Amino acid sequence: MTEAATAKAAATENSVPDKELASLTVSESINKDNNENDNEIDGSDAEAEEAAGPDSTGQKKKKKNKKKKKGKKTGGGAAAQTTPPSIPVSKLYPNNSYPEGQICEYTDDNMYRTTSEEMRARDRVNEQQLIDLRRAAEVHRQVRTYARSMIKPGVDLADVAEMIENGTRTLVEADGFKAGIGFPTGLSINHCAAHYTPNAGDHVIVKKDDVLKVDFGVHVNGNIIDSAFTLAWNDRYNPLLDAVRDATNTGIREAGIDVRLGDIGAAIQEVMESYEIELDGKTIPIRPLRNLCGHNIGPYVIHSGKSVPIVNNGDQTRMEEGELFAIETFGTTGNGLVHEEGVCSHYARNETNEQPRLQSAKKLLTTLKKNFGTLPFCRRYVDRLGESHYYLGLKHLVDQGIVTAYPPLCDVEGSYTAQFEHTFILRPTVKEVLSRGDDY
């Protein structure tokens, strides 16, 4: 997820029965496929195949038992997963045997950490956090693998959001603050870089010439995996996607214990600005969106205080052992600065003793604390809880500073933006890129 000078919005919530969609949509297709897969799994393991008549020896062919096929593998090494994914990852990886992320050994002054017995002992102290993070990361990989195969021109972003969020709930076994969605699914198109998710009644149809950023999160016991990717269906945007992917990987490579945040930003900027793109006969330099940043992540807090710039801003703050970071970079064909634009959907509650004066706001605040805590949320999540007529109360909470609103963040209209993001942890012994997958 993204940070624009302050914190970026994101969310989670408890599981509640899904709504049916009125017309044939991506979500309906998923539900239908899920039912078919459930029937395959719950049914008998084999079915009789009728004999096709005598064989060449004159003997009657015997009946054969043919096992029913399970769903296709969806990534992350889960051999028994279905398509669409419907089996919780805890069932696929017994005894907490979730896959490690990408392991990067430290270099230079930190090289000793890889083999140090002291560092290994400190690493073992955080074993449960690693288990939780790897579980959340595996959910993210499997959900996004299926989502990438289903998102294409003609789909409704409202259905895409439901697909990703319902898949996340299922695979992580959503259970309030124990496990669930990390923040609202960001589905930002073209010049909109971040913080757009559909509100109830919004229907945005993906077009072939769109550039779509998909940003979603998963948490287990408040340990959040934040990862994002960009999709485009016109090859002319490939240089933009390549630039941002390369810049994100550069930021991850440069990150480490005692590394200055400004130095990471400088490396990201250098790589990003080495790319250009040709659109409509014009050669356009690719620029970083300089007022968007990566960030560190705390328990149940998507932005925990430190910002990782994507330009050289001279920040001398250092990364520290044990910290969890999301490195995300944004590239644009526009001006390189985002501004707030459009109707807000993302919100997050602040830790404050301030009490609302309006009765409807008091009631809503109780609901927000109970279901989201300090995790961000969107209007759809509040709707899902059965709340209605809450807009006045929500505005009151925002006006009093009890809740912060995070409107969509956009560059100049007509420009195109892209995003890639990964979450990694600076373990005492190695850097582990938890959300890394075969896709990006």
Angle between helix axes 359-371 and 391-399 (nearest 10 degrees) is 90
396 is catalytic: no
Contact 249, 267 (CB under 8 A): no
The sign of the CA dihedral 119, 125, 129, 133 is positive
Residue corresponding to tokens 């994914």: 85
Q: Point out the catalytic residue in the list 132, 156, 226, 411.
A: 226
Look at residues 164, 170, 169 and name the one whose alpha carbon lies nearest to residue 144.
164
Q: Point out the catalytic residue in the list 215, 246, 315, 411.
A: 215
- The tokens of 73 are what? 């593998």
How far lies 135's CA from each of 15, 88, 420, 438, in Å? 18, 10, 21, 17
303 is catalytic: yes
Q: Point out the catalytic residue in the list 140, 219, 295, 396.
A: 295
Q: Point out the catalytic residue in the list 411, 421, 422, 432.
A: 421
DSSP state of 184: E
Q: Strand, coil or helix: what is 356?
A: coil
340 is catalytic: no
Contact 193, 330 (CB under 8 A): yes
Q: Which helix (H) or strand (E) holds 30?
A: helix 26-42
341 is catalytic: no
CA distance 270 to 280: 25
Q: Point out the catalytic residue in the list 328, 346, 396, 432.
A: 328
How far lies 436's CA from each of 104, 159, 194, 228, in Å? 12, 26, 21, 11
Q: Point out the catalytic residue in the list 140, 303, 396, 422.
A: 303
Q: Strand, coil or helix: what is 150?
A: helix
CA distance 165 to 174: 10
203 is catalytic: no
CA distance 183 to 215: 9
- What are the two backbone dihedrals, phi and then psi, of residue 58, each rounded to the nearest 5 degrees? 85, -5
210 is catalytic: no
Active site (catalytic) residues: 215, 226, 295, 303, 328, 421
